[in-house]
Structure 1
Amino acid sequence: MSFNLNNLLRDNIKKLVPYSSARDEFKGEASVLLDANENAFGSPYTTNYHRYPDPLQHRVKEKIYKIKGVPTENIFLGNGSDEAIDILFRAFCRPGKDNVILVPPTYGMYEVSANINDVECRKVNLTRDFQLDIDGIEAAVDGNTKLIFVCSPNNPTGNSIRRQDIETLLVNFEGLVVVDEAYINFSKLPSFTKDLSEFPNLVVLQTLSKAWGLAALRLGMAFASKDIIAVFNKIKPPYNINQATQEIVLEALDNVTLVNTWIQEVVSEREKLAVALSSLEQVEHVTPSDANFILVKLQEPRALYNFLVSKGIIVRDRSRVELCEGCLRITVGTPEENVALLEMVAVFYGSSSL
């Protein structure tokens, strides 16, 4: 396959002259900043936030580079992964003309962003073992297919998609393959970020919301070739990551050891939770998970969900999602939270085996 990024871009994006912010127009340090119409007197707060933040988040990207080994020129930071997803549609998909491939059951924001941008979604369901239907995807692709989204480990099923199948898409598809690795920290499998130089049509999405425990800050990451990242930066708002988020993330990224400890604890609790639930005769199947949640097929899922809600325990009802019929998605909590969940599940089913 001969990949040509220019052939994928929308014509208006090729011609787009991005907004040039005040902080883009000079390099280095300055003692008097009178360029951006800020309030020079400071902020009505203990920390001064009266200056606009670094529009390209250089310090944060440098720290991410040291952790993940991905050069800063291959990193885009967004207001959650959702911003990166939306930019992909706006950059590469012509409204009312182009289409993307989704592989349900999968993360719902791909379809939401497609609908917002008036882009057709062609759905090729995963197989019964929650793997890619390569032949089905090939049949669905046409000359106007610009993106294929693959979530791995997948949400809501929790399993990883076979690497060789994703590589098959990357080699044979002329558009972009977007691999969403929001849950990669909980998997033993390597990240596709190591393969950016091999596959010019690869975009990898990750987040600080899961393993890093920074969901409230809304910081997502996209990794791709420098040319694709340049497109992201061309389209994004000039100051899309605020100063407070950048400061907190910089401090948090110094705590790799703590995060790795949490990941180990989550994986350990995940296995305990899966074993305990599997022991119930009312539980039909627990999907092996590489994420921080498990998908459990069980009897009376909606009634159990409502019962748990009444006890102040919230899980996710996926029982009406195709291929997830009869399933609840349960996030792995602390040991105490998992015990509380199991106790209430046992009460609901009238079991004493947990």
Structure 2
Amino acid sequence: MSYHYSNFDLFSLIRDNIIHVDPYTSARKEHKIEKEHIFLDANENAFGSTLSVANSYHRYPDPFQTSLKKKISEIKNIPVHNIFLGNGSDEIIDLVYRIFSRPGIDHSIIFPPTYDMYEVSGKIHGANVVKIPLTEEKYQLNMNKIENFLQKKNSKIIFICSPNNPTGNDLNKKDIETIIKNFNGIIVLDEAYIDFSNETSFSEKIHKYPNLVIMQTLSKSWGLAGIRIGIGIASKSIIKWMNKIKYPYNINMISQEIAIKALENKDLFFYHLNRLISERKYMETHLNNISIVEKVYPSSTNFLLVKIKFSSKHLYHYLMHQKIFVRDRSNIHLCHDCLRITIGTHKENQFLIKQIQSYSHSKNA
């Protein structure tokens, strides 16, 4: 395979209706905002909110999240102009489809088993979603089958998840790079779990690949799932188009404030990250010693994919009765009789192990 980026034309990939969209211009978009300014431009309630504490929640949030992006830029060593923030990574997936995929004409490519929203969002946008399964057992990209689709006329978007959900493993970095270099469309590389992995992020190479969109998140390793902050990292040109069609105030003020405060606690971040990785090793060791567990797959995430010798559904329902909720993935391609188990606190993990051991003894009695 050989592809030269001199041939890459981002503009030619964008849907015609998107090109001709006149973006919504928010009241604060055109000015540099200072606290001492008098704001009579956005039809806000000048008398404040009904909260009893002092706040500025009667004002609309910064539509481009300037302060938060600066903080993320410092931590990740990525220029601000290469960062887009979405209401969760799902907004970024939605925007990529809206910008680049023509309904009923173009198709996206996914590699199951993988994150469901690539397909769900594709179907919502009328895209033909092509599925090329990962290889069995090792869950790697099937490069022989993928090659046939890279140069097809209406192949517009490829979604790659590494570390992958629900399998938990890193995909081969050379294979990912080969696809990026040989696809004349948009590559979305989902790195939601990259902080749990020993692999380095592709964000270090964003300047090399004009067709690459990297997704990261504050939901996993930073523990901020409740405030819904998805991070898109891409060329300045792609970020421009995403900003053009996003909803005007897509990240609320409270989420921005909380995220900035959380990102300042780097020591606590690393402390929690190390504890979680330690608990992942603990879980892997103890699960492998339970007779009904056929296999614990290698993980670079905050969860384990566990194959059960008997019916995983029976164990799933047993655990529910013990008030333990895991994810049954047995209906997903290549995940027969598998449960996806998120790493909990040590106390939670101990209780889970004890319950699976109890279930295993009852099966072997």
- TM-score, reference length from structure 2: 0.95
Q: Is 1:44 the equivalent of 2:54? A: no
Match of 1:251 in 2: 261
Distance 1:70 1:150 in 2: 21
Distance 2:95 2:157 in 1: 12
Deviations 1:109-133 (A, max 9, x none): 0111001101010000000110001
Q: Where does 1:29-68 land on structure 2 (aligned, <5 Å)?
A: 29=34, 30-45=36-51, 46=53, 47-68=55-76
Match of 1:172 in 2: 182
Q: Where does 1:159-198 land on structure 2 (aligned, <5 Å)?
A: 159-198=169-208
Deviations 1:177-221 (A, max 9, x none): 111000001001100110101111111001100111110101100
Q: Where does 1:283-294 land on structure 2 (aligned, <5 Å)?
A: 283-294=293-304
Alpha-carbon contact 1:180-1:204 (below 8 Å) kept: yes
Gaps of 5+ in 1: none
Q: Where does 1:154-233 land on structure 2 (aligned, <5 Å)?
A: 154-233=164-243
Q: Is 1:337 the equivalent of 2:348? A: yes
Q: Where does 1:120-159 land on structure 2 (aligned, <5 Å)?
A: 120-128=128-136, 129-141=138-150, 142-159=152-169
Match of 2:12 in 1: 7
Alpha-carbon contact 1:122-1:140 (below 8 Å) kept: no
Match of 2:106 in 1: 98
Distance 1:336 1:226 in 2: 45
Specify which of 298, 308, 318 is matched with residue 319 of structure 2: 308
Distance 2:202 2:78 in 1: 11
Q: Is 1:87 the equivalent of 2:95? A: yes
Distance 1:99 1:48 in 2: 44
Distance 1:37 1:255 in 2: 36
Alpha-carbon contact 2:57-2:253 (below 8 Å) kept: yes
Quickly say closer, same or farther: Cα 1:352–1:102, change in 2 above 3 A: closer
Match of 2:284 in 1: 274
Deviations 1:282-309 (A, max 9, x none): 2111110000000000122100000000
Alpha-carbon contact 1:124-1:140 (below 8 Å) kept: no
Distance 2:129 2:296 in 1: 29
Distance 1:215 1:138 in 2: 36
Name the SS for the 1:216 alignment partner: helix
CA deviation after TM superposition for structure 1 residue 28, in Å: 4.0
Name the SS for the 2:189 alignment partner: strand
Aligned residues: 353
Alpha-carbon contact 2:101-2:127 (below 8 Å) kept: yes
CA deviation after TM superposition for structure 1 residue 27, in Å: 2.1
Distance 1:62 1:327 in 2: 41
CA deviation after TM superposition for structure 1 residue 134, in Å: 1.3
Report % sequence identity. Answer: 50
Q: Which runs of 4+ in 1 moved over 4 A?
A: none
Name the SS for the 1:203 alignment partner: strand
Match of 2:118 in 1: 110
Distance 2:18 2:96 in 1: 11
Distance 1:148 1:256 in 2: 33
- TM-score, reference length from structure 1: 0.98
Alpha-carbon contact 1:153-1:184 (below 8 Å) kept: yes
Alpha-carbon contact 1:316-1:329 (below 8 Å) kept: yes
Match of 1:27 in 2: 32
The one-letter code sitting in structure 1 at the alignment partner of 2:127 is V
The one-letter code sitting in structure 1 at the alignment partner of 2:331 is R
Gaps of 5+ in 2: none
CA deviation after TM superposition for structure 1 residue 14, in Å: 1.4
CA deviation after TM superposition for structure 1 residue 256, in Å: 1.1
